[in-house]
Amino acid sequence: MTVDRILPTDEAHDLLDLATELADRELAPRAAGFEERAEFPREVLRTLGRAGLLGLPYAEEHGGAAQPYEVYVQVLEILASRWLAVAEAVSVHTLSCYPVAQFGTDEQRKLLPDMIGGELLGAYCLSEPQGGSDAAALTTKAVRDGDAYVVSGTKAWITHARVADFYNIFCRTGGPGPKGISCLLADRNTPGIHPQAAERTMGLHASPVAQIAFDEARVPAERLIGGEGMGFTIAMSALDSGRLGIAACAVGLAQAALDYAIGYARERQQFGRAIIDFQGLGFTLADHATQISAARALLLAVARLRDAGRPYSVEAAKAKLFATDVAMRVTTDAVQVLGGAGYVTDHPVERYMREAKVLQIVEGTNQIQRLVISRALAKG
């Protein structure tokens, strides 16, 4: 179904048209094959980068498009409606560029054109095997040794772990708690950085996720971002933006599942009529259409808060929570609409359902989002 959008500029209309054209031509025809082969579509990311879609929210002086987040999240939604793994890759890469763009030195920002242009792919190394939600308790250490930091520890659930060209490493340079955490930018060929075997995930098979072991990896001290002790602040600031990216992915995935279910329900005949004409099914689809519209409206409202420079952390948690829960509900019911046909790989809805689950987990589980929101309510 066509989504009726109100966009801020003619340029934004052109960008969404470009995103739709590329998604239809480069993403949709390849998704099933790449997912079946568990192959990462690196060249697709380069194509999106060269088209300017990897740097939408970043400044033109760094190679970006200087677009508001309101536009960026709608581009992500379109990409996700054709192939979630690519949209999630764009979201993660955009997140990986954020520390340098927002907190980096002038020298570090010289890397941004290649990062934003997609020639260099990024990974965001925050979670660890013993703790993901409790980021302030991370244990990966970085010890200053002359003109470098020596990094030791293990990161877990790292998207792009085996294919990234650079890593944002959140590590402990000081005492316990958030004030002891710093952020280092490391190249993939740094000795002592060892991506492990890819995890065998439920969905997003084309997106390589793995642990990364740091065995006394020497990262130049000039690659420290924002100063010692700034890492936790950088991480949380980036995650606020990242949660909007995941919410956008969820809206796109849910829309794809709904559209497919509607198309099937219009064609599938039972008892002499199209199954969409039965109220039990038609009302379910109506509820889903309403929930997706509500998720999209919430997402755009929060993106506009961010664009206006207003506080949006709690609202981003709400958007991520609501949109990903909607995606899980819609994709699960889409399988049910197709019945037995929904349970086989001939139709994409079984993949949509498997993919939706991870959106409730990444960038902070939905339980963490509820914690963020409830704490804000308690403070008043």
Q: How far is CA 49 from CA 208, 344, 354, in A?
A: 19, 34, 27
Query: Does the active-site annotation cover 21?
Result: no
Q: How confident is the model at residue 281 (pLDDT cuts 50, 70, 90)?
A: very high
Q: At what angle do helices 313-338 and 349-359 cross, to 10 degrees?
A: 160
Backbone torsions φ then ψ of 256, nearest 5 degrees: -60, -45
What pLDDT, on the 0 to 100 scale, is given for residue 289?
Answer: 98
Sign of CA dihedral 11, 12, 18, 21: negative
User: What CA–CA distance (Å, rounded) separates 125 from 129?
Assistant: 12
At residue 89's C-alpha, the angle toward residues 83 and 94, to 5°, is 130
Question: To the nearest whole percent, how much of the chain has pLDDT over 90?
Answer: 94
What pLDDT, on the 0 to 100 scale, is given for residue 4?
Answer: 92
Q: Are 299 and 251 in contact (CB under 8 A)?
A: yes
Q: Which residues are CB-contacts of 260 (< 8 A; sequence separation ≥ 6)? A: 334, 347, 348, 349, 352
Q: How confident is the model at residue 133 (pLDDT cuts 50, 70, 90)?
A: confident
Q: How confident is the model at residue 380 (pLDDT cuts 50, 70, 90)?
A: confident
What pLDDT, on the 0 to 100 scale, is given for residue 130?
Answer: 86
Per DSSP, what are the bridge partners of residue 193?
214
Q: Which residue has the higher pLDDT, 132 or 109?
A: 109
What pLDDT, on the 0 to 100 scale, is given for residue 131?
Answer: 75
Backbone torsions φ then ψ of 204, nearest 5 degrees: 50, 50
Residue 132 pLDDT > 80: no
- Which pLDDT tens digit goes with each residue over 295-315? 999 999 999 999 999 999 999
Q: Which residues are CB-contacts of 165 (< 8 A; sequence separation ≥ 6)? A: 119, 120, 121, 122, 187, 188
Residue 63 pLDDT > 90: no
Residue 285 pLDDT > 90: yes
Q: How confident is the model at residue 135 (pLDDT cuts 50, 70, 90)?
A: confident
Residue 105 pLDDT > 90: yes
What pLDDT, on the 0 to 100 scale, is given for residue 179?
Answer: 94
- Which pLDDT tens digit goes with each residue over 251-269? 999 999 999 999 999 999 9
User: What CA–CA distance (Å, rounded) separates 333 from 327?
Assistant: 10
User: What CA–CA distance (Å, rounded) separates 136 from 128?
Assistant: 11
H-state helical runs in the chain: 10-22, 31-37, 42-50, 69-82, 84-103, 112-116, 231-267, 279-307, 313-338, 349-359, 366-379
User: What CA–CA distance (Å, rounded) separates 117 from 244?
Assistant: 21
User: What CA–CA distance (Å, rounded) separates 112 from 90?
Assistant: 15
Q: How confident is the model at residue 140 (pLDDT cuts 50, 70, 90)?
A: very high
- Which pLDDT tens digit goes with each residue over 187-245? 999 999 999 999 999 999 999 999 999 999 999 999 999 999 999 999 999 999 999 99
User: What CA–CA distance (Å, rounded) separates 118 from 121?
Assistant: 6
**DSSP conformational letter for 199:** P
Question: To the nearest whole percent, how much of the chain has pLDDT over 70?
Answer: 100
Mean pLDDT of the region 22-34: 97
Q: Which residue has the higher pLDDT, 130 or 365?
A: 365
